[in-house]
Amino acid sequence: MPLNNIKYTDKNSLKVDVLLADFIDQEVLPDLKIDGASFWQSFADLIHGFAPVNRKLLSKRAELQHNIDQWLVNNRDQFDQTAYVAFLKELGYLVEEGGAFKVTTQNVDDEIAKQAGPQLVVPTSNARFALNATNARWGSLYDALYGTDVIPESDGAEKTNGYNPTRGQKVIEYGRDFLNHHFPLEQGSHHDVVQYAIKNKQLSITTTKCNTTLQEPQQCLGFNGVAEAPSQIILKHHDLHVIIEIDKTSAIGKNDLAGVKDLTFEAAVTTIQDFEDSVAAVDGEDKVGVYHNWLGLMRGDLSDTFTKDGQLVTRVAAADKTYQSLNGSTVTLHGRSLLFCRNVGHLMTNPAIIDQTGNEVPEGIMDAMISALIAKHDLNQIGPLRNSRTGSIYIVKPKMHGPEEAAFANTLFNQVEDALGLARHTIKIGVMDEERRTTVNLKECIRQVKDRIVFINTGFLDRTGDEIHTSMLLGPMAPKADIKAMPWIKAYEDWNVDIGLACGFPGHAQIGKGMWAMPDEMAKMMQIKTEHPSAGANCAWVPSPIGATLHAVHYHQINVLETQKQLSKRPRADINDILTIPLCADSKQLTAEQIQRELDNNAQGILGYVVRWIDQGVGCSKVPDINQVGLMEDRATLRISSQHIANWLEHGICTEQQVIDTFTRMAKVVDLQNVRDDSYLSMSDNLNNNTAYQAALDLVFKGKEQPSGYTEPLLHAYRLKLKEHLE
């Protein structure tokens, strides 16, 4: 229903927030030379046709969950896994798998079809962050190493206020070791190089002991500067570029035998500009902020000015890189990460548009039409920079439940293409495998979008949140750390890769893995995150541009395409393992201390994130956990934590008063953690009237009744309430 504080204008049969209507009419449509009246008519037709189907699909979700709840209650005391799987098939939750097929997606950019590398996810609502991620296609290895714990602060290599040459030397040694491993010389070592030069159309290398070249001369693609004394040497390995930066007058280069000042890595080859979990967009004003930045990215003219180290800095999208090939031609390398946008899923509505029946419009339908409309600026080459060079629009679709919903997204995209005059399958889709009904029917979900799919991935937090909610009434779940160690998780991760490979993803689409959530613990990331490319993932999420630069090392160490070929020969993961519910083996063995520790961890995480979401409208930020470790958090954290407490409440592992007492104590902890944030509103001094605190409690105490355990309905309601009060 329309909100009292929103001004609407009539657009055909729609009531549209004036802010959104003006943005589209005045900023989006003119350069596209699209008539406003015809656009709004086609938009109204789209909503009229698809909103009822959207609502019917959500009703199907609720009906399936109701039937599962009833079965679990009836069979709680004599649960049998075989009978359970048979019931899911009879219910239609688990559909019959069809025959083999291969995806046929065409016009896919190389960043998806050929390259394996790090992927960033960034809130599009924040222009500075959006640009940082876009520009993270290229990153300084030296800066990434010097500023993080990958280089230990021992033996004189501490980080100091000024430049520490001992630490700097360790960075240089790491870089030379990298070159030796992946760009080895015919003779000698990169540690001993005194000159890199181009002679006779190949890389000539002089060391302290000999003249040599690369073992694989074709790894050198070209250079910039003067051939005899180049400023850049362009190398390539596993389809990723590395640039040796040479400047003997620079602070670093003047002390280097070869004058090398840095290694520039091709890092975040793709980025998901997020409209969903990492943003807090609850109305037309918020949506315009997101869409405005997406427009700037698609036109290539987005900029943001901010203060850094006491000085004003203006950030813009990076230009492309050029170099001279060994045979004299000029070659251009894309200067920015290839951008997806992640639309909202099928669940939420938004008061930015009210349809002819008086209902808020499904936000996913809004996003599909408007994000594709904006992306036409890229397709029409309006502005100085390009995103897709193959004429594609890349949209990630989250939180879909099963093949019917994937088919709905496909049909919706068909209609959007027709409305905007786009060729069929211009809009590509990424299907996030983060809901249980999608996981167990993944092959059939992919079949529904086989001509436009470019991405699947896994995500532990959302997937586990849905796992808990789906099986809420069966019994108490294991502690979260135990859940993550259970066999169903590995089966789920392997299944995702197995299905993607069987459906012919190589050369057409990415298989992705989830986030490394600790941006300050890069040494640990470097030790552990090799697991993702080793598992056959073309891309995996990292929390920062620096993380992307470091994670790129793993894609040089591991040839993902060869790994995928080997993995395609293994037996497929067992769906029965995936359907094994992560119950606590013996909840009576949980000690009071274990229970309280789990409650503390969950409550602190919920409060630490919710207080920023509700009070500040920040959808993604580095939030300290209960052990003071900064975690890059979004709504998925709330889903798993709130569902976990709700489940333990349901089965008497804890009491309502115990949960309230825990939240009361944790509010003080979170207040203390944010004491240096001037914009932070304290919770603990007025809990009964604090909107964020009340929202956090509702996430738990109303968690069982939330659709699929999602947090969005409550978060949006509380944020809208706060915004209305502030106005």
Task: Provide the annotated active-site residues.
Answer: 342, 634
**Cα–Cα distance list, 130 to 303, 442, 647 (Å):** 10, 31, 37
Cβ contact 474:583 at 8 Å: yes
Token pair in block for residue 585: 């083996």
In whole angstroms, what is the distance from residue 438 CA to residue 436 CA?
5
In whole angstroms, what is the distance from residue 440 CA to residue 572 CA?
13
Cβ contact 285:724 at 8 Å: no
- The distance from CA 679 to its chain's CA centroid, rounded to whole angstroms, is 27
Radius of gyration of the chain (CA): 26
State the CB neighbour count (10 A cutoff) for residue 585: 8
Token pair in block for residue 477: 């779940």
The sheet with strand 8-11 has its strands ordered as 8-11, 14-17, 349-354, 360-362
β-pair partners for 330: 324
- The distance from CA 335 to its chain's CA centroid, rounded to whole angstroms, is 20
Cβ contact 221:242 at 8 Å: no
State the CB neighbour count (10 A cutoff) for residue 1: 8
Q: What are phi and psi of 272, to 5 degrees?
A: -95, 110
Name the nearest CA neighbour of 123 among 306, 346, 314, 280.
280
Q: Element (H or E) spanning 716, and its range?
A: helix 712-726
Name the nearest CA neighbour of 390 among 428, 432, 344, 352.
428
Count of residues making up the chain: 727
Cβ contact 51:405 at 8 Å: no
Provide the sign of the torsion angle of the four alpha carbons 486, 487, 488, 494, taken in this order: positive
